[in-house]
Amino acid sequence: MSESTLKPLVPLAVTDHRRDILGFKYIYPVVSRRAGGVSVGINLNPNNACNWRCVYCQVPELVRGNAPVLDLAQLADELDAMLEEIVHGDFMQRSVPEEARRLNDLALSGNGEPTSSKQFGEVVDLLGDAMRRFGLLGQIKLVLITNGSQMYKPAVQAALARLAALGGEVWFKFDRAPVAGYSEVNQIALSEAQVVRHLKAATAHCPTWLQTCMFATDGLPPSEEEQRAWLDLVQAACAEGAKLEGVLLYGLARPSTQPEAPRLSRLPEAWMQAFADRIAALGLAVKLSL
């Protein structure tokens, strides 16, 4: 990789999570407001395909589907080039705001559901090898950002156990409790029993946080009924054995590219804090990002 390949055209910012900012196919750096530093993203869905279609999703030209066959050699080369620049080069000084010049994590995220890749387990092992080579084990996090839909699969569960052994953690998407077996926010058929089952599987194999995006629709916040349903389902999952680390509660930071985008807006800080307080009342840790 040439030095020029690794220079973003603009400094990184929390509002800019472009996956192609370096010209790479699988690897992209972002300044993460939730991480409080630089997160190196691993995009297993360069085809912009996901099995969900969240209304707040910022992925352009999102389509329904699963991850394609990955070129693991290219992924490894891109990751090595990125980490070389961060760990041994001057990438932070060139491209990152001073207050965020710390490498916080490697994040399996990207433009779709990462666990939809049949090579997901191989990627976890590849990331572990890279962390060892660069002396990052025990120094940074390895994070899986997931909608949890594939947690019933033995291969995914086995990969989660290896993720945990690397000091990893899961960020499990849970935005709203489903209504009549459907989630409007995530645009997917989903039952409460599925949420609980998948959440239990995740927490059984790896430390797991819920990640929840709250926003206004047509100027209105989630109703009291929606809030209560969310809280009740989390409480029920915990009662059935889901051992959560806590909840990552956040609002809209970047514009959606979905058809619903004009209807969505940020919620006031006071509303977000009030909901965070209700979550804390369940006995769960809450990290709030506005």
Average pLDDT over residues 4-29: 62
- Per-residue pLDDT, averaged over 173-192, amounts to 97
d(CA 185, CA 51): 14
Which pLDDT belongs to residue 6? 58
Ramachandran angles phi, psi of 274, nearest 5°: -65, -40
Task: Give which of 276, 268, 273, 265 is closest to 230, Cα–Cα.
Answer: 276
Q: Is the pLDDT of residue 157 over 70?
A: yes
Which runs of consecutive H residues, i.e. helices, occur in 38-114? Answer: 72-87, 91-95
Instruction: Give the sign of the dihedral formed by CA 187, CA 192, CA 198, CA 202.
Output: positive
Q: Is the model's pLDDT at 18 over the cut of 60?
A: no
CA-CA distance, 161 to 179, in Å (whole number)? 32
